[in-house]
A and B are shown apart, each in its own frame.
Chain A
Amino acid sequence: MAATHVLPAPVVQRPRVLMIGTAFAAAASVMVFSGLIAIYLSRRAEVVATSNKWLPEGVKIDLTQPNMMLFTLLASSIIVQWAVYAAARDDRRNLYLSLGLTFLFGFATINQLSYLYSLAKLDVSTTQQAVLIYSISGAHLVMMIAAMIFVLLMAFRSLGGQETSRQHDGVSAAALYWHAMVAVYAIIWITIYVTK
């Protein structure tokens, strides 16, 4: 057997490593929400079967803010894909603009969610409905913040010239995770906000 250790270490090739890793991370994140929403639906079915009503007396969740959040996130999904398009064409100006807008739309969604929290008179210390709704929307908030940090990191990498038309996996991976986050919100929107 030839002694391999006398050779220099080869250049590390990373064919779509970040994309694959992000795909698994996104799948794991989606599974967290699968578990949460399955429990939510199970508990909701039990409560509705006995009292015909899911939300406790006096609690009203308006659809305006959730709808705004949905439209904002759907728009951000298009914008983050614009970033991938721009990165693939070495269009720096559009890349920075789209990543910045994606981050801004994420921030706007957080703002809407905090406003929704202030409007909905849900007391976490009294009902299981509040525990479920705060857990699910709060976990989604964490996922959104993670996606925003990912976008921000890729923006810095782009500024450093590491995301080019030849290698823009970072931006693509950030976009993949962002899309997963938006898809999760769409399910939350239907499950929690529309089907109250």
Chain B
Amino acid sequence: MSITETRQEAETPSGETAAAGVEADPITGALGSSDHKTIGRLYVVFALIFGVGAWVLAALSSAHDAKPSILSADTVNQVFTLSRWGMVLLFVVPLFLGLATYIVPLQVGAATVAFPRAAAAALWTWALSGLLLIIAYAVNGGVAGGRAKAVDLAYLAVAGILVALMMGSISVVTTVLALRTPGMSLERTPLFSWSMLVGASMWLLTFPVLLANILLIYVDHKYGKPSDFGVADSQWKQLAWFFQQPQMFVFLVPALGIIGDVVATMSRRRQSNRGFMFAAIGAFGVLSFGAFAQDYFDAQVWQQAIYIAMGVLIVLPAALALAGWGTTAASGRLNTKSPMLASVFAALTLALAVFGSALFVIKPLRLQNTPTFGYGLLVFVVGTGALAGLAGLFYWAPKFWGRAIPEGLSKLSAVVALAGTLLAGLALCLLGFATRFTGIADATDQLNWAAALGAAVIAVALVLALVTLIAGIRGPDAGDDPWDGQTLEWATASPPPRGNFGELALITSPEPLLDEADDQEEGS
């Protein structure tokens, strides 16, 4: 079976092929484009740039905890909150959304993303709102900021970011549900597309709840005394649930799909126990629904059985996914290419994150009494997101730009990101035990410095990733399918032309390109 059929009439009279699709003016083309590939590229690059800034702020925040004279009393809160917004809403979520906007239509054999103009509007709304948020913070706004109008502006910017990310999510989930090529049933969709369907659906169910919080704070702050929600001291407390267990895991759902696709392709094996992997990703998404766990409005929520159960049970789908990846990798040929390396690292930090989640909800450990353990978990979650994002980026970079990225530099980026995540995450999690062990309490400053260093190291890793991509643009031709891929994105040119595909054959399995290779082997 051939995946595609080639027809002579596709050639234009001048002999050019339909592959053209290259914009005459790259800047104008990028600004006005509703091509999902351009949108996806821009998301990824902007997210990496925002991510560097967010991790630098996180490093500053931890350094201030070690040496309180580093930041002034006015700015410490701003640095703290902006780093959280940045890590989640400007970095990890849009990084996955960018990868999905580019790759999901290709994986499901679609000519475009659903609602391409809405996807373009979402990108620019997100990017401009992100800039607006930074500007608002720069003029003493942001959460509990000193200048009232700048505080309102910051909340408007966050609302804009949330609406944009939801619009982008709707484009992606609709693509998976409605634009699959004939024969590709939902159970035959690649793991990344499935994980985006689950993850983006959960984003659409939880981000609006944060939007509701933002709305109340904004209305009370702008028009009220403020009497309740908009009071400076209570603003962040209302929003903190978004960065805590279990909600924080909702940002990680796409990571499970990326690792699954990378491990299967790199091991040159079909993903074993696909049904279990689908169930694991679905369960991980459901167990990370955290909109109910708003401790500001219900102080007892952390003692509720459902909260504790979700914190512990999330270990199960993660373990199932780890077992699935391990089985697939063990049955195949192991290699240490950069996507595989970053995937293994992401799996390791994911395991630590869910283990930490199970510890966090156990009341006798008293880890909920200090903010540092919870922040350590967030670092593990966002660090895992960074590593999985890098794995996806290195894996699909040839598809993004048609060029091979420098292997050494990409591996270095993954190793540095792992080192930073472990350093910052472990240091902060250890600090959570400071109330129980005097030795840890005595080493508080050193551990805060370690956390600051770890966050700075992650920022360096993201800079390295950007350098890798820039170097990759000038790299050698990667070919259309450098990894002997299994899924449809590797059945088209790199980068794909407008319309992505020609005429696709009926899909009969989750790995259509392996089916084709098997058929050719049998034929010969």
Contact = CB atoms under 8 A, between A and B. Distances in A.
Q: Say whether A and B bind each other.
A: yes
Interface of A: 1-10, 12-17, 20-21, 24-25, 27-29, 31-36, 38-39, 42-43, 124-128, 130-132, 134-135, 138-139
A43 B220 CA distance: 14
Interface string B493-516: 100111111111000000001001
Given A32-B208, A128-B220, A2 B6 contact: yes
B181 to A, nearest CB: 9
A10 B502 contact: yes
Taking residues whose C-beta sits less than 8 angstroms from the other chain, chain B's interface range is 35 or more
B10 A131 contact: no
B4 A36 contact: no
B266 to A, nearest CB: 19
Interface stretch (B130-138, B186-194, B223-231): B223-231
Nearest to B209: A35
A157 to B, nearest CB: 15
B19 interface: yes
A6 B274 CA distance: 33
Contact of B208 (A35, A39, A128): A35
B17 A16 contact: no
Interface in B6-30: 6-7, 9-11, 17-19
- 5 pairs of A and B residues whose beta carbons are closest in the complex: A9-B499, A7-B502, A35-B212, A35-B209, A31-B208
Nearest to B110: A12
B170 interface: yes
Contacts of A135: 215-216, 219
B502 A8 contact: yes
B159 to A, nearest CB: 11
B262 interface: no
A31 B228 contact: no
A21 B174 contact: yes
B2 interface: yes
Given A9-B497, A36-B212, A39-B212, 13 more contacts: A1-B4, A8-B10, A9-B111, A10-B501, A21-B171, A34-B212, A35-B291, A36-B216, A128-B228, A131-B227, A134-B219, A134-B223, A139-B215
B267 to A, nearest CB: 20
Contacts of B504: 4
A6 B19 contact: yes
A5 B177 contact: no
A159 B337 CA distance: 57
Interface string B266-305: 0000000000000000000000000110100110000000
A5 B492 contact: yes
Interface in B65-124: 111-112, 114-115
B156 interface: no
Interface stretch (B144-152, B198-206, B347-355, B372-380): B198-206
B114 A17 contact: yes
Nearest to B173: A24
Contact of A2 (B5, B211, B215, B500): B5
A15 B480 CA distance: 29
